[in-house]
Amino acid sequence: MDTLTLEVALPRDLFAMLGHSKPSAAEAMREFSVLGLYQERRISVGKAAELLGMGKREFVRLLARKGIAYFDYSQEELADEFQTVDECRKRPDWKG
């Protein structure tokens, strides 16, 4: 993966909250950035996992540890999904 190094000015209090060392603070900022992009639906699970150097399963476990939903459907989206499943079940070739 192609990388870029940034120099970021942080308040000392924030630095302390991120881990008291430059490497741990940098890792925490990277993780927070990727999780934020994922929550905003700007990147996929696969891309988020790749950016954090982990597999998809490990990323899903990270989401669970952080209390972030893997499935985040609106009521309308969820209703559409259930309708699609119902329609599939009515097909003669359904093997569910």
pLDDT of 50: 96
- The whole-chain average pLDDT of the chain stands at 91
Count the Cβ atoms, other than its own, within 10 Å of residue 5.
Answer: 5
| Domain presence at residue 29 | yes
Domain count, the chain: 1
Cα distances from 76 to residues 15, 81, 83, 93, in angstroms, run 41, 9, 10, 27
pLDDT of 1: 78
Dump pLDDT digits (tens) for 60-69.
999 999 999 8
Is it the case that residue 12 has pLDDT exceeding 80? Answer: yes
What's the pTM value of the predicted model, to 2 decimals?
0.74
Q: Which comes out higher in pLDDT, residue 19 or 73?
A: 19
Range of the domain at 64: 12-70
